[in-house]
A and B are shown apart, each in its own frame.
Chain A
Amino acid sequence: MISPDVVGSGGRAADPAPERAPALPTGRNIELVLLAFAAAIVTAALVLVEANQENELTRALLYVGAAYLGLFTVAHFAVRKLAPYADPVMLPCVALLNGLGLVMIHRLDLAAADRAVALGRAAPTVLIQRQVAWTAIGLVLFVGVLYLVRNHRTLARYGYTAGFAGLVLLALPGLLPSSISEVNGARIWLRLGIFSIQPGEFAKILLIVFFSVFLMQKRELFSEAGRTFLRMEFPRARDLAPLLIAWGLSVGVLVLERDLGTSLLFFGIVLVLLYTATNKVSWMVIGLSIFLAGGFVAYQLFGHVRTRVEIWLDPFADFNGAGYQLGQALFGLGTGGVGGTGLGAGRPDLVPYAESDFMFSSLGEELGLVGLAAILVVYLVLITRGLRTALAVRDSFGKLLATGLAFTLALQMFVVIGGVTRLIPLTGLTLPFLSYGGSSLVANYALVALLLRVSNAARAPLPHRPAAPQVPIAEAGTELVERPS
């Protein structure tokens, strides 16, 4: 193993000031080693899938592998150039998750093709090439964000613009006619001819930027103490307005777009940023109670919410109908057991939407508890690095931004995995980086690029400035200056 103290300085030229502190290791070489490791794991996974499916290694495989390697090499060098002190662990974690997702999507493609042949149907659409293309677009956006946002504090200037854009993106599919926005009952899409996107995924990042700016400027307002009850300080009633607006919006999303996941995610982000900014538990208590109240009302009023809860309580009550998907996923996880069936040797394709909403159960069937635990720890490392960035960065906008971004990943992961494993009712979110789905992948790459940008600011050496002697103006001697001609 390589000691982090030895590698990493990279020998890049920094400012040539003569008395500068010893060069800080940047961690870029560790990142390269970890990326290579991730690539090796993904290659091994791909070979195992092909071997277990009794396929020969085809040229299409080579294309996918080369694209993966090429993309992450470019991303690594972009980070080297644009954010040299960024966290070295985040990008490899993302690369591993994305790679495993690609392998699994390819594996489900093979299964779908087999089934189509057996049933004598036309060959189904191949998803893997699309997902590789989305990965490419995502990494282009990743590099673009790193290139355009040279310092995360510049984002603070566009806080209200970001907020407005985010709101429009969030509300757009709910307000458009359902012929454009509706897929499988949820109205969260924009179908633009050949491809379709989920604007909510991008709205989430813009709204985090907005709320970080808003709370940075108005923090005092929310820390204002109201009355104390049960040893918690509750805010004054008039300061509750922003929280109530956020709550109303998330309920609006739930009603108009019929999407429990986005609604939950959006409200959770607001709540956690408020808590982070004010350090008051009462915000959490108030927020969670009004969320539960809203959820209860939604349960009473809307059929689709009730169906979700009923499936959650007992997926086997209507196994051949509404409960089929979740029931099959649970059988899949059970089949996987501790060690899994081995990549390519299970039947994850029995679950409808195994490649997007149920990616976790597909992986669980073939990798087992041991593999799922490894994947969860990779997520955990990614998220803790994000939260750690928030601790280390030295300005409060950066702190709030990094907290919001890292927490989004955590909440999304919890909601999806909780839904698939029947801990909470199922919602329609995708697992970041693993699931099939372009918008989610591209948006999450932008999210990680922002996190890397903040972590670069947190880890870079302190800015060096020559200590200019400051003479108080009263003591300054009179100077003769030449008049500019």
Chain B
Amino acid sequence: MPELVLQLTRAGFLALLWIFVLFSLRVVRSDLYGAAGLRALVSGGGRTRGRSRVRAARQLLVTQGPLTGTRISLDSRPILIGRADDSTLVLDDDYASTRHARIAQQGDDWYVEDLGSTNGTYLDRAKVTAPTRVPLGVPVRIGKTVIELRS
């Protein structure tokens, strides 16, 4: 093979490799903005930006317990918390019940409701007995896990 062609193909192949790398990094980047790997994908899913209203909760963040740091982005569906395998947030905690609590949206607000758990659900320090509105940033304690709503 002529020397010039060899040099060109050599450089061309390395360039090709790097284009692949950059392309895959681009795909990765599109995912990075949602911490749960979900938020970036749910664009156009009914955001209420631009309206002059109290800031709506967009995600649920675990602040204490084994799952600390886990984020779940909120859409209109309720979040189930408990030890059951099909819960949205699956706890492995002896102090949590199989179906412990539910956080659901009503209108613009989110309400936490205890599903008859053994050890109870606490909003800040008050025990939750009936569906209670959860303001942004107020801790909800379930067993050893503490969660908060964030905008």
Q: Which positions in A face B, CB cutoff 8 Å?
A: 1, 3-5, 19, 21-22, 24-25, 27, 30, 34, 37-38, 40-41, 44-45, 48, 51-52, 54, 88-89, 92-93, 96, 151, 153, 216-217, 219, 339-343, 345, 367-368, 370-371, 374-375, 377-378, 381, 384-385, 388-389, 391-392, 394-397, 399, 458-459, 461-465, 467, 470, 472
Contacts and interface: CB of A to CB of B under 8 A. Distances in A.
A11 to B, nearest CB: 16
B3 to A, nearest CB: 10
A395 B70 CA distance: 9
For the complex of A and B, 10 pairs with smallest distance between CB atoms? A395-B90, A342-B10, A392-B37, A374-B17, A4-B30, A21-B75, A377-B21, A370-B14, A22-B45, A392-B36
Contacts, number: 154
B109 interface: no
A470 B104 CA distance: 13
B38 to A, nearest CB: 7
A88 to B, nearest CB: 6
Contacts of B85: 151, 153
B24 A470 contact: no
Interface residues of B, number: 54
B88 A463 contact: yes
Nearest to B34: A392
A41 B17 contact: yes
Contacts of A458: 36-37
Contacts of A25: 41
Contacts of B41: 5, 24-25, 459
Contact of B38 (A367, A459, A467): A459
Contacts of B27: 4, 27, 30, 34, 88-89
A378 B23 CA distance: 11
A371 B17 contact: yes
A467 B67 contact: no
B4 to A, nearest CB: 12
A469 to B, nearest CB: 11
Nearest to A467: B78
A88 B41 CA distance: 13
A283 B21 CA distance: 35
A89 B24 contact: yes
A260 to B, nearest CB: 31
A367 B45 contact: no
27 contacts: A4-B31, A5-B43, A21-B75, A24-B38, A37-B19, A37-B20, A41-B17, A92-B24, A96-B20, A153-B85, A342-B7, A342-B10, A343-B13, A370-B14, A371-B13, A374-B14, A374-B18, A374-B20, A384-B28, A391-B35, A392-B37, A394-B89, A394-B90, A395-B92, A462-B79, A467-B102, A467-B104
A137 B17 CA distance: 27
Nearest to B129: A472
B24 A381 contact: yes
B34 to A, nearest CB: 9
Nearest to B9: A48
A392 B38 contact: yes
A315 B86 CA distance: 56
Contact of A89 (B28, B79, B102): B28
Contacts of A34: 20, 23-24, 27
Contacts of B6: 52, 342, 345
B140 interface: no
A219 B66 contact: yes
B80 interface: yes
Nearest to B130: A472
B93 to A, nearest CB: 9
B42 A21 contact: yes
Contacts of B77: 21, 462, 464-465
Most A CB within 10 A of own CB, among B27, B28, B46, B77: B27
